[in-house]
Amino acid sequence: MLARPFWLALGFLTTLPTPPIEKVAPGEMRRASAFYPLIGWIIGGLLAGAAWLFTNLPTGLAAGLVLALWLGVTGMLHLDGLLDSADALLAMRPVPERLRILGDVHHGSFAFGVGFVFLLLKWQAIGLSGWMALLLAPVAARFWLLPLLNLFPAARPEGLGATARQGRWELGLLFALPALALAPLAFLATGAWALLVGYWAARRLGGGLSGDVYGAVIETDELIFLLALLSQTALQA
């Protein structure tokens, strides 16, 4: 059945209401990963709808409200991953210490610096982007997570990210194809960024990736998609 993996993916990646699932069987999160791009369409649809709703508001305020919705609907799961990854990957520490930092609930100076700059850039990018970019960015970001889940081992086998590895992503590609067709250059730029960050992070973590890094990839991929589409539009003007 496809319904259960879909609900698992929706419940894992968003704060939207889902039917109660008492127990997740082994391998179910792996099957659910194929639905990540579809969840991206749901998130993107909410963002595009909000952007349309806030059309008459000042640009900065409208962008701030869309950003707040973006953070709220994802439960700040990916933002937390970005902050944890900043502390761990940017620290001049040995691999075991970086892995320990990833599991630490506290945030350090790298997290605050990266988080502040990232949110500032994303807010500005939202203000300059149209509804189509907001619709497609979450799709592209969640699709390009799928190759990373297959290419790299788990840096922390006990982490949540490890349970989604090695899923079949052909279905995910099918869900993502409309985004590729509508914005091919931005879609491919997002993929290039995801692979670059994945390889860099894996080298810093002893060869594998963790759920926090996956969250960081999604967050930064969304920003890269918006910036790539804005750059393309500016060059064509």
Digit-coded pLDDT (tens) for 51-105 = 999 999 999 999 999 999 999 999 999 999 999 999 999 988 989 899 888 887 7
The mean of the pLDDT values for the chain is 91
Phi and psi based region of residue 25 (left: phi greater than 0; alpha: psi -120 to 50; beta: remaining): beta
Distance CA 53, CA 2 (A): 33
Pick the residue with more confidence: 166 or 171?
171
The pLDDT score that the predictor gives to residue 157 is 67
Q: What is the pLDDT of residues 176-190, one digit of tens each?
A: 999 999 999 999 999
Judge contact between 89 and 204, C-beta under 8 A. yes
Q: Is the pLDDT of residue 27 over 80?
A: no
Query: Which residues are paired to 209 by β-bridges?
Result: 154
pTM above 0.85, yes or no: yes
The number of domains in the chain is 1
Query: What pLDDT sits at residue 38?
Result: 96
Instruction: Say what percent of the chain tops pLDDT 90.
Output: 69
For residue 160, give its domain range: 3-236
CA dist 228 and 190 (Å) reads 8
* Structure tokens given for 88: 């761990």
